């Protein structure tokens, strides 16, 4: 069963704007990972944030984690048309396997 | 990280037949997994492929339908048996790579196999 719930389900923005996607989960976790999937292909690992971390950056990506609210957000700054994809959060509960959220479909219009 | 390849990348099969999907990793990994992604859906874990022993299946998935082999630490196969149109999905191989500093591990995915059953 899915632990992560993501919102919005779909997001459409103009190139150059920032995109924010949110993920909420239910149980305690070891870490949370974000992935990108282009058009039904394989998943690309974007970033892992551990439960004792609050924020992490990678290029134009910024991920935050609030374990008290059981939520995470992925911010993509200065979006490009090539960022158009589905984005998934996946939680790693302690001692358990990775569980995926439903995903957010991001469309960046040029 | 790990580089994962899958074969075939896509296939169209007739109902009642079986398809075996291969997954090859460029390095030895302890944990390998198989996922299914039905059209427009998120990923669902089918099973953990254990090297040298039987795979561990998640609820709703059985060995007779999805037999898995894992002969070594770099290779695994998933067979989708006696296929029906409901098996039309993307099937993804995944591996977990342990972090150096703590028990957290990053999980990487292959490019997927897009299966259509007619």
- In tens, the pLDDT along A61-74 reads 999 999 999 999 99
Residue B103: per-residue pLDDT: 57
The number of C-beta contacts closer than 8 angstroms across A and B is 51
Name the burial class of residue B53, with classes exposed (0-12), middle (13-18) and buried (19+) by CB atoms within 10 angstroms of its CB: exposed
What is the per-residue pLDDT for A1?
45
| Statement: B4-111 belongs to CATH 1.20.1260.10 | no
Decide which of B111 and B104 is more confident. Answer: B111
pLDDT of A3 > 90? The answer is: no
pLDDT for residue A103 is more than 90: yes
Residue-level length of chain A: 110
| Range 50-89 of B in CB contact (< 8 A) with A | none
In chain A, the domains with their CATH numbers are 5-109 (2.60.40.10)
Q: By mean pLDDT, which of A33-47, A58-72, B2-16 is the weakest? A: A33-47
Mean pLDDT taken over chain B: 92
Of the partner residues B42, B48, B111, the one whose CB lies closest to the CB of residue A103? B42
Percent over 70 (pLDDT), chain B:
95
**Segment B87-101, tens digit of pLDDT:** 999 999 999 877 655
Please return the burial class of B65, using the count of CB atoms within 10 Å of its CB with bins 0-12, 13-18 and 19+: middle
Express each pLDDT in B9-44 by its tens digit: 999 999 999 999 999 999 998 889 999 999 989 999
Domain positions in chain B are: 4-111
Measured distance CA(B103)–CA(A39) in Å, rounded: 32
């Amino acid at each position: 069963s899915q632990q992560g719930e993501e919102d919005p389900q779909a997001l459409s923005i103009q190139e150059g704007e920032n995109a924010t996607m949110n993920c909420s989960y239910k149980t305690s976790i070891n870490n949370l990972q974000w992935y990108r999937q282009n058009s039904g292909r394989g998943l690309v690992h974007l970033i892992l944030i551990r439960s004792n971390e609050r924020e992490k950056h990678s290029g134009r990506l910024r991920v935050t984690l609030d374990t008290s609210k059981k939520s995470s957000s992925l911010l993509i700054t200065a979006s490009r048309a090539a960022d158009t994809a589905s984005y998934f959060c996946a939680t790693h509960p302690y001692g358990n396997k990775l569980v995926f959220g439903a995903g957010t479909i991001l469309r960046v219009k040029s | 990280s790990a580089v994962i390849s899958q074969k075939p990348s896509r296939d169209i099969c007739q109902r009642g037949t079986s398809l075996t999907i291969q997954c090859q990793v460029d390095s030895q990994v302890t944990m390998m997994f198989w996922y299914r992604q039905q059209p427009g859906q998120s990923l669902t874990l089918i099973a953990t492929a254990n090297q040298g022993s039987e795979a561990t299946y998640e609820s709703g998935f059985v060995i007779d339908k999805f037999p898995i082999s894992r002969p070594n630490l770099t290779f695994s196969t998933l067979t989708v048996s006696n296929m029906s149109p409901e098996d039309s999905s993307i099937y993804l191989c995944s591996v977990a790579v342990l972090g150096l500093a703590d028990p957290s591990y990053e999980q990487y995915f292959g490019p997927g196999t897009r299966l259509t059953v007619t």
